Amino acid sequence: MTWAVAFASPLAFFALLFPFARRHVDAPLPWARSPVFRVGVVVGSALLMLVGHLLGDWGWLDMLIRRWAEGPLLYTAWRASTYATYSLAVVALLVLLGVAVRQRALAMKDRAGAAPLFWLAVGLFIGTVRWELHIFVRSAAFACGGFVKLQAAQMHALMWIVSLACPLVLFASTYAYLRHRAPGPSSVLRAPMVLVTMAASSALAIGAVFATNPVAEAGPRTAELMIAGYNAWLMAGIVTSCALPVMVGVLMLRLRRAGSHAVA
């Protein structure tokens, strides 16, 4: 059951959403144009990520789990969930490469009607592998702190910097990409090196999945250092969960206004 939930549910979600989006990509639903709906999506995303942190990382959900699972049952479910998410991180990237090859073939034939779905595929599969990459970055930060023998306060500061800097760099690069008139998906897919770039990125991401545990084992051994780093990572993650959707929403609003002025 744990394998089915952790592994099959994201792929099933993609299989159901992808055809639906394909039917409506050229003719958006009327209610999707509503400002109320768009604001609701941004606010709802921020609240959903914040609730996820509170339930998972702050232990609220753990209290409910311990009411029905004890000992071997809880341990078995946890291991199954871990292995399923690791496997999903590998499978999702391989499927994404297949989607990219297919979409590129359509774009090269000047049949670019399905090209916007390329971005949908990228977004869904990045969301699928995000947690594994997130854990790898956290483990790498711990390993670096242990290697240079940081103190607890220094580890606390390092985890804040790493946890905030990664999404901010992603946001800044996305903003620059869009601000300087990002090419459409068809143009991107026609680029000579797009498949090579995606293959290299996927290889790095898959490597990160398998390297997470060895890297984590090289981290600090003292409880004080671990607690300081973990608390900073947790709080910075909550800040990011609240701030990043709002920042993306503001960016979308600015781009919408700029597009409206350009059309006018």
pLDDT tens, the chain, 264 aa long: 666 766 666 777 777 777 776 666 656 667 667 777 777 777 777 777 777 767 766 656 666 666 665 666 666 776 777 777 778 788 888 888 888 888 888 777 765 555 667 777 777 777 777 777 778 888 888 888 877 888 888 888 888 998 888 888 888 888 888 777 777 777 788 888 888 888 888 888 888 888 877 777 766 667 787 888 888 888 888 788 777 777 777 777 776 666 666 555
Q: Which residue has the tokens 């989607």?
A: 99
Q: Would the pTM of this model clear 0.75, i.e. be above it? A: no
Q: Tell me, what amino acid is at 28?
A: P
CA gap 86, 209 in Å, rounded: 6
CA gap 170, 58 in Å, rounded: 26
Length reported for the chain: 264
Longest CA span, the chain: 65
Angle between helices 72-108 and 9-24 (to 10 degrees): 30
148 by DSSP, 3-state: which? Answer: coil
Contact between residue 25 and residue 116 where contact means Cβ atoms under 8 Å apart? yes
CA gap 228, 29 in Å, rounded: 48
CA gap 174, 243 in Å, rounded: 16
Long-range contacts of 16-23 (CB under 8 A, 24+ apart): 17/120, 17/124, 18/117, 18/120, 18/121, 18/124, 21/117, 21/120, 22/114, 22/117
